[in-house]
Amino acid sequence: MQYQGSCHCGEIRFNVDVDLSNPITCNCSYCTQRGSILAFTPAEKFELQQGEQKLTEYRFHTKKIQHLFCSVCGMESFARAALPNGTEMTAINVRCLEGVDLDSLEPTQVDGRSR
Q: What's the number of domains the chain is made of?
A: 1
CA atoms of 65 and 54, how far apart (whole Å): 18
**Four-residue CA torsion sign, 81, 83, 89, 90:** negative
Q: Between 64 and 13, where is the model more confident?
A: 13
Q: Residue 114: left (phi > 0), alpha (psi -120 to 50), or beta?
A: alpha
pLDDT above 80 (res 64): yes
Instruction: Give the residue numbers spanning the domain of 40.
Output: 2-114
Average pLDDT over residues 21-43: 93
- CATH code at 35? 2.170.150.70
What pTM does this model have?
0.91
